[in-house]
Structure 1
Amino acid sequence: MMKRILNLMIVSILVFTADTIYSQQDPNFHIYLSFGQSNMEGNAKIEPQDTVGVDNRFQVLEAVNCPELKREKGKWYTAVPPLCRCKTGLTLTDFFGRTMVTQLPKNVKVGIINVAVGGCKIELFDKDKYEAYMTTAPDWMKGMVKEYDGNPYGRLVEMAKIAQKDGVIKGILLHQGESNTGDTLWTKKVKIVYDNLMKDLNLNPMNVPLLAGETVNADQGGICASMNTIIATLPKTIPNSHVISSSGCNVAKDNLHFDAAGYRELGKRYAEKMLSLNGNKGSK
């Protein structure tokens, strides 16, 4: 009898604690998780126009310590680039957030969490396989992964849980695939990551869409453009997923990365899709 009473007390405490945490959430603070490889990390040089006029309603939760930027891991800042790690470039999340706040009501804030690693396969974000994957990773990648204490997925979840104390996770942004070009199992591998996020963050997949962008398009000579045929099938595996076209987005000379103009356009397209899904495009 005493054991049963004790168990009921523990459950009551846990429920009370959870209710207290979520009662502090601001429903008008919309959080978006983003992950992937170099095009999500941000490969383009940050230009002067990208550092001015950033609305403080657009925030970034710093995922690593950046003393040179006077930013600390796990704290919110106005989303002036870089938005991934301390020395990364302009990313599509920059203009995703900027577009979102121009279209949303003035009382709504947008927060982004960007955890990305250039050159990585989707396996790096599989919490059950990342350690095995890292045994084959090149040294330059290991250095980037080390900034996330060796576990980018774990860091994304850690930051997301911090963010959930302040706002509500409304969607997930993905840009990855170049390193998995030709991998017909890619959609299933993405689903593993997505399902883990839903479970680990207590999210309802019906309420949290996944937006996945195409690699550099064939119309721009993309060297991994063939991957787009696989990316196009993602909604068959994850019902609440949507593919963002990269057609016409400007690219860098390597035909692998977008340039600054390309990231601005691609980020805008992610935002337009998210706004349409939320049913509030054009609202002020």
Structure 2
Amino acid sequence: VNAYGADMGMVYIYGVLVTIPSVICAGLILPKFLGNLERPTPSFLKADQPVDMNNLPSFGVSILVPLIPAIIMISTTIANIWLVKDTPAWEVVNFIGSSPIAMFIAMVVAFVLFGTARGHDMQWVMNAFESAVKSIAMVILIIGAGGVLKQTIIDTGIGDTIGMLMSHGNISPYIMAWLITVLIRLATGQGVVSAMTAAGIISAAILDPATGQLVGVNPALLVLATAAGSNTLTHINDASFWLFKGYFDLSVKDTLKTWGLLELVNSVVGLIIVLIISMVA
């Protein structure tokens, strides 16, 4: 998002339009063509300790909390239609609607609704927070490494080469962003690294140095095209492939037929919808 200078609210709005057909194709239509697969109950869905069914958060709360950042950022984008830029009201609204603050608000609400409101003490809440930080630490490290790789590739001047190829070959920036991300994802097995690297390459290729803006593209749609490319077919060099296999106790063959095809269908359908939106938006 930062590499393309896209508005996060618009990314969410367009993202909903892209997600719906992707979920229908990958989640509802694809399974009908997979045939009979063994479907063992994953061990992580089996509770280690008895669960108090009377103390669970409601379905509405469980859905609302993860959507809080999206709701805040979309509301900020809509509010910016009427707010005058650089006024105090605009500054306050955009501060609250920034990604870090929106995520922080969601985290605090989660602490309350899933923790103290359920009768848990602060020690329980902090233990849950600590386990969450441990699980995300490696992802943050990968993001940092992806940024280093992205800048290294940009400094080699490959962005200028890609820009020349797009101008001479009349290739859509959305297709190029998707294709570069897919190739890096297949080579490295890292979705975050592939997205960040491709974003650096594409932004360097189509950025206008005079204005600092991307030329001839919708930044939000370019974000979604890149995201679709990073969410493509995975194989044995991808950590998420083995994570999915281990969690659901599947064979390598069945993991390729399920997780691999699901990712591929998501990716291709996502790109197609992005291209359709780019023609009418």
User: Which category of TM-score, normalised to the shorter sequence, fits these structures?
Assistant: under 0.3
The structure carrying a bigger strand percent of its residues is 1
The structure carrying a bigger helix percent of its residues is 2
